[in-house]
């Protein structure tokens, strides 16, 4: 007997960094509530910068116990320096386990130098929940 479980029952996607096109400054994330989820994958899409640009080392995931609490960096959940030579028109991903004592997650980092469009979504998932056999939404998984 197939079970009809909606997409959002076992996977959720939310905006983590609104698409921006900035010359330099903080890459400010939107707090993501990962309560009751096991994993969070932050998927960044970098466009083409106008000139040489970079994202400083340390762009990464921060966590807190509530949305209003002080956020602290998640150990080993950050990028090294990303330059436009390797980062233009590319996707970069940080995938972390969610600590339920600190389920609020946020991206923080610094754009350096020139105009570089970037945005990020966070995909929350629970590996313990198996995908449904009949879907209310379409999911393409090439595995």
- 22-26, 57-61, 102-106, 116-120: which range is least confident on average? 22-26
Asked whether the beta carbons of 3 and 134 are under 8 A apart, the reply is: yes
Q: How confident is the model at residue 35 (pLDDT cuts 50, 70, 90)?
A: very high
Of the chain, the percentage scoring pLDDT greater than 70 comes to: 78
pLDDT at 127 (0 to 100): 62
DSSP state, residue 67: T
Q: What is the mean pLDDT of residues 30-42?
A: 93
pLDDT at 1 (0 to 100): 40
Q: What is the pLDDT of residues 53-95, one digit of tens each?
A: 777 788 899 999 999 999 999 998 888 888 777 777 888 888 8
pLDDT at 137 (0 to 100): 41
Q: Between residues 45 and 65, which one has the greater pLDDT? A: 65
CATH of domain 7-125: 2.60.120
User: Torsion angle of alpha carbons 143, 92, 44, 100, nearest 10°?
Assistant: 80
- 5-9, 73-77, 98-102, 112-116: which range is least confident on average? 5-9
Asked whether the beta carbons of 39 and 124 are under 8 A apart, the reply is: yes
pLDDT at 61 (0 to 100): 94
Q: Measure CA 56 to chain center.
A: 17
- Distance from C-alpha of 120 to C-alpha of 115, rounded to nearest angstrom: 17
Q: Which residues of 48-86 are buried (b: 16+ CB within 10 A; e: fewer)?
A: ebeeebbbbeebbbbbbeeeeeebeebeebbbeebebee
pLDDT at 136 (0 to 100): 39
């Amino acid at each position: 007997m197939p079970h009809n479980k909606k997409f959002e029952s076992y996977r959720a996607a939310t905006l983590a960094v609104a698409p921006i096109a900035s010359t330099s400054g903080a890459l400010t994330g939107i707090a993501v509530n990962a309560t009751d989820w096991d994993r969070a994958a932050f998927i960044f899409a970098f466009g083409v910068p106008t000139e040489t640009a970079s994202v400083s080392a340390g762009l990464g995931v921060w966590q807190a116990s509530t949305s209003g609490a002080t956020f602290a960096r998640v150990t080993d959940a950050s990028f090294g320096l990303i330059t436009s030579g390797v980062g233009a028109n590319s996707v970069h991903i940080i995938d972390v386990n969610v600590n339920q004592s600190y389920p609020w997650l946020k991206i923080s980092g610094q754009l350096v130098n020139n105009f570089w469009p970037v945005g990020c979504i966070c995909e929350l998932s629970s590996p313990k929940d198996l995908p449904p056999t009949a879907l209310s939404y379409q999911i393409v998984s090439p595995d």
